[in-house]
Amino acid sequence: MWNKRKEEEYPVRPAASAVPSAAANPVIQKESIPMSASPMRHPEADFRSAAVIGKSVMIKGQIVSREDLTIDGEVEGTVELQEHRLTIGPHGKVRADIKAREIVVLGNLYGNVDVADKIEIRKDAKLVGDIKTARIVIEDGAYFKGTTDIVRPEPKPAASAPKPAAVQAVPAMASAGSGNATPAAEVKR
């Protein structure tokens, strides 16, 4: 619902889309130094078998990863790591909408993020965009401009829960004064 704006210092630069669509940039452009899978030496990050986009790498386009990813270079487009963690390193400059299970920001991020679990914005990091997440940690000294929308994860239904127990629980909830309890009479009848 919020306007997307570029966070720049005066004077105003020519207007451009903050987050280019992946469709407009379908080709992944790599510079001479390739993406490295070797761990980067940085004390803040957890590099348990994470892929790393090094600080001299620039990528435009769509990134989909099925493992943890660290971006310490420049990325424009979209980034998707549905079940994994994204770390934007201290040299990272990302202009992208991101979907991930968890995000740690130490560098610069312009774009909207959709995080299933948790986002951390560390000291000296900069994030301009809207955040949808279950949990957020923001350190003093971090810069954040945008909306925070906390989305509580839906409880997973217990697969092995016996049905009679669930029915029996309804009167107990009602007697405890829960306003959300389904009327016990309706369930029993």
**Residue 154: CB atoms within 10 Å:** 6
Q: How far is CA 54 from CA 39, 45, 124, 165, in A?
A: 10, 13, 19, 54
- Determine which residue in the list 21, 56, 147, 168 makes contact with other proteins, applying CB under 8 A: 147
The span of 30-38, 41-49, 88-96, 137-145 binding other proteins (CB under 8 A) equals: 137-145
Residue identified by tokens 């210092």 is: 9
Name 106's Cβ contacts closer than 8 Å, sequence gap at least 6.
Answer: 44, 45, 87, 88, 89, 90, 92, 122, 124, 125
- Determine which residue in the list 35, 136, 174, 184 makes contact with other proteins, applying CB under 8 A: 136
Residue 111 is given by DSSP the state: S
Residue 154 contacts other proteins per CB under 8 A: no
Residue 5 contacts other proteins per CB under 8 A: yes
Residue 17 contacts other proteins per CB under 8 A: no
Residue 140 contacts other proteins per CB under 8 A: yes
Question: How far apart are CB 66 and other proteins at their closest, in Å?
Answer: 31
Residues that bind other proteins (CB under 8 A): 1-3, 5, 7-12, 121, 136-140, 142-150
